[in-house]
Structure 1
Amino acid sequence: MNLVLIQHKLKQLNWPMVIFTMLVFSLLIKLGFWQIERAFEKEQRQQRIKTLSQRNALSLEQILALKGLQDGINDLPIEVSGNFDADKVFLLDNQPDKGRLGYRVYQIIESNGAAILVNLGWVQGSIDRSVLPEILPVSGQHTMTGHVREIEVGIQLQAQNFTDSNWPLRVQQIEIDKFSQLINKKLLPFVVYLDKKESIGYKKNWQPIVMPPEKHRGYAFQWFSLALAWISLMIWAAIKMSKKDPS
């Protein structure tokens, strides 16, 4: 095939469709690699959690001293003592457990002048969305162990508005800054998730890693398969069109 014929073939290409095809292909490949990266991150966190689980629980002062280090404080074991505020209860909505919808219960504990949000566990909700579960708040002095979790606020379709707050308060996301404004008290920038052995609170069903690495790899395989199917389909379509137009 000489240069003139090649140039002629190139001019016959539907360039908008070629560009569109490559953009979709590149996006699918990118999504596949992103899932592989997520799997790697989850494996690293699993190893970190396994290592940290063998350490003794740290005090609140030790946790605060470690904040700012490269590895951060996420998943560190902690032992904290303080008094619970029984008047302020947060109910995190849309929390499933074995097919049942419910809430995660959060309360504030004050320890050495610091206010900390504590995840006390899961309770089942009512089919009637207007009915909140009956909660017996934790009160008084307690010493407990758990793990530190730094909360990342996800995408919200509508911002949470707490101007008219009734307790217990149903929330869609944990937002430390907004909660601090609501209670007129600065909360520390993390949540303590109680260990399953703790008797206070409710059902301890939380998982530090919701989606395991294997699932991310499965999604990566799906994206790569879609990319291969897409590019194969477009090549087949291009060949078929060229046969119809042999000029």
Structure 2
Amino acid sequence: MVTFHYNFKITLFSLLCLISFINLGFWQLDRKEEKIALLENDLHFRSQIGSRPEFIDQNRVLSGTPLILQGTFDDRVILLLDNRIHKGVVGFEVHQLFHDESALNFIINRGFIPRGRTRSSPLDIPLMHNEMVSIRGHIYKAPKNPYLRKIEKLNYDFPQIVQSIDINILSNELQLGLFPFVVRLQEDQLGALPRSWVVSNMTPEKHQGYALQWFLMALAVFVAWIFFTFRRTNG
């Protein structure tokens, strides 16, 4: 005979785990759809030639939108984004001020340079000598880092090592209007440095796999609850 043995603590614990695991599973499925859309947008943008910045709606522009810029790199303002890794080597990503002929100003991510033996070691940063150039790149909307609490101030001793690139802060510090997003320079362009940028760190398939794991864990919790609640007794 199967009898019902209700245990409030086991039931509550099982219910909380069940809800959490199911929510995490659907969250992973949502992330999967986001990654699919992100990859599709990247393929779409790669097929486009690019637009001049004055024709871009800054309030609606998408990450990955290609741009064509004409102007000069400013060798006086170079920021080194810390803790970057390229092919197992620790270093910096070089972000440099660029003055476009449209009168707009940009922060251009040129790519990676390795760090010296110490943080005070001199770095080999190829300068652009303020020459007029035509370059191509794409807009990069960096995700916000919730662990960065400190607002960095410029010390105007360039190149300066920074932990993050905040366009609003840079604009105020430099007293210069800046395009609201970083532009990543294409790897075949003048001034480009090595890079290992990826559209997404995790494939849609991995998100689907994680979702399946969460759903299986939810099923395991439900089966365990059934086992402890409905028991077979003799007679």
- Shared fold, TM over 0.5: yes
Contact 1:58 1:77 in 2 (8 A): yes
Aligned twin of 2:126: 136
Pairing 1:30–2:20 present: no
Written as runs of structure 1 = structure 2, the 5 A alignment for 1:1-247 is 13-63=6-56, 66-69=57-60, 72-111=61-100, 112-126=102-116, 128-129=118-119, 131=121, 133-140=123-130, 141-162=132-153, 164=155, 166-238=157-229
Query: Larger relative contact order (C-alpha < 8 A, sep ≥ 6)?
Result: 2
1:164 CA displacement: 4.3
1:154 CA displacement: 2.0
CA-based RMSD: 2.8
TM-score of the aligned structures, taking structure 2 as reference length: 0.85
Aligned pair count? 232
Secondary structure of residue in 1 paired with 2:150: coil
Secondary structure of residue in 2 paired with 1:188: coil
Q: Which shifted more, 229-238 or 152-161? A: 229-238
1:137 CA displacement: 3.3
Q: Which runs of 5+ in 2 are unaligned?
A: none
Secondary structure of residue in 2 paired with 1:142: strand
Q: Which runs of 5+ in 1 are unaligned?
A: none
Q: Deviations along 1:84-139, whole A, 9 cap, x unmatched?
A: 12111111122222322222110110112221111101122245455474323333
Q: Which amino acid aligns with 2:127?
A: P
- Shift of the 136–55 alpha-carbon distance from structure 1 to 2, 3 Å rule, reads closer
Q: Which structure's residues are more often helix, by fraction?
A: 1
Q: Which shifted more, 157-166 or 167-176? A: 157-166
Q: Deviations along 1:47-72, whole A, 9 cap, x unmatched?
A: 12212222221111122xx3334xx3
- Shift of the 67–160 alpha-carbon distance from structure 1 to 2, 3 Å rule, reads closer
Following the alignment from structure 1 to structure 2, what is the Cα–Cα distance between the partners of residues 145 and 163? 27
Following the alignment from structure 2 to structure 1, what is the Cα–Cα distance between the partners of residues 225 and 117? 48
